[in-house]
Amino acid sequence: MPIWRTIIGLTTALTVITGVASADDRFITLASTTSTENSGLFGHILPKFTSESGIEVRVIAVGTGQAIRLASNGDADVLFVHHKPSEQKFVAAGHGVARHEVMYNDFVIVGPAADPAGVRGMTKAGEALAKIAGAEAPFASRGDDSGTNKAERGLWRKAGQEPHGGTQSWYREMGSGMGATLNAAVSMGAYTLSDRATWISFANRGQHEILVEGDPALFNQYAVMLVNPARHPHIKAKQGQAFIDWLLSPEGQHAIAEFRVQGQQLFFPNAGD
């Protein structure tokens, strides 16, 4: 074969390979929670980031526990979740480079308007849960190791209760996301713990409403972490860090703050607070 054909062939092959690599570099995988996805937040902010950076963000929306496992296995470039103890453990174990707080909202206890446990207007979530347990009123738990589920279990512990994994017929572990759990709670006439963003975005409320809110224990912080490229060399560290930097920037924080559903702000940026 003439040498010029060999050179052209090698050049073409190199161009194809380089082009594929370049295309692959134009997206990152983000492991996050169902609340950030289902509320519509990502649909609002991610196109803004892509427009500015040229980097597409492909979201895997699961519970926080599962998102952390995905990131720990190197199956995502960036982790964006809401359970501080688990996040700190993730970074301390070397799976993440650093933890950055991005935004917050809160959890609420919702239930049927009839309120059989009589918790309406209570300002202490633990006391409200204790009343629900005392009345053996139906309670639908996500039961999926999500950030919301972890927060719920913490609230039960503070109330001196450990209903999960037990035999109480009134406590139902759904093993599902927030939307499916809210649907189950409405159909069963049960109480449940929801993040406010998903509740505001939820259409099938029936006779359910927010009954308990405002307790500092219901505070819900979100944080973002780059998956450690020293642990997983294939991680797109440059592109992932660009996304994190944008989230923490005035532009990213403004994009989060301006997102509203039914005129209500769902997430409140607090990077650097």
In a 10 Å sphere around its CB, with 0-12 CB exposed, 13-18 middle and 19+ buried, how is residue 248 labelled?
middle
What single-letter DSSP state applies at residue 166? S
Beta bridge pairs of residue 111: 209
Question: Which residues have C-beta within 8 Å of that of residue 1, sequence separation ≥ 6?
Answer: none
Q: What are phi and psi of 76, to 5 degrees?
A: -150, 155
Tokens 């093993």 found at: 175
User: What's the half-sphere exposure (Cβ side, CA atoms, 13 Å) at 48?
Assistant: 17
Residue 198 φ/ψ region, left for φ over 0, alpha for ψ in the -120 to 50 degree band, beta for the rest: alpha
Q: Is the pLDDT of residue 52 over 50?
A: yes
What's the predicted TM-score (pTM) here? 0.86
86-95 core/surface letters (b: 16 or more CB in 10 A; e: else): bbeebbeeeb
Do 186 and 232 have their domain in common? no
Final residue before a domain boundary, out of 202, 218, 234: 218
Mean pLDDT along residues 18-22: 45
CB atoms within 10 A of CB 115: 16
Give the model's pLDDT for residue 184.
96
Question: Which domain, by its residues, includes 18?
Answer: 3-105+221-269
Give the pairing type, strands 96-112 and 219-227: antiparallel
Final residue in a domain of this structure, among 178, 193, 218: 218
99 and 127: one domain? Answer: no
Residues 173 and 232 in one domain: no
Q: Count Cβ atoms below 10 Å from residue 142 Cβ, excluding itself.
A: 27
Q: Residues 58, 99: one domain? A: yes
> Do 28 and 101 sit in the same domain of this protein?
yes
- Mark whether 121 and 252 lie in a shared domain: no
Of the chain, the percentage scoring pLDDT greater than 90 comes to 79
Q: H-helix or E-strand containing 81?
A: strand 78-81
Quick one: 206 and 236 in the same domain? no
The mean-pLDDT minimum among 4-13, 34-43, 154-163 falls in 4-13
Domain count, the chain: 2
Q: Retrieve residue 213's tokens.
A: 């809110």
Whole-angstrom distance, CA of residue 137 vs CA of residue 163: 12
pLDDT at 132: 96
User: Do 47 and 87 have their domain in common?
Assistant: yes
CATH number of the structural domain spanning residue 200:
3.40.190.10
Per-residue DSSP letter, 140: E
Summarize the confidence of residues 7-29 as an average pLDDT. Answer: 56
Q: To the nearest whole number, what is the mean pLDDT of the chain?
A: 90
pLDDT tier at 113, thresholds 50, 70, 90:
very high
| The pLDDT of residue 24 | 65
* Same-domain pairing of 124 and 113: yes
Residues 205 and 184 in one domain: yes
Rounded Cα distance between 77 and 236, Å, is 6
Are the C-beta atoms of residues 113 and 185 closer than 8 Å to each other?
no
Let me know whether 208 and 120 are in one domain. yes
CB of 68 closer than 8 Å to CB of 93:
no
Residues 214 and 143 grouped into a single domain: yes
- Pairing between β-strand 96-112 and β-strand 268-269 as defined by DSSP bridges: antiparallel
**Which of 133-137, 161-165, 225-229 comes out lowest in average pLDDT?**
161-165
Task: Say if residue 38's pLDDT is above 90.
Answer: no
For residue 219, the model assigns a pLDDT of 97
pLDDT given at position 77: 98
pLDDT at 22: 53
The secondary structure of residue 191, as a DSSP letter, is B
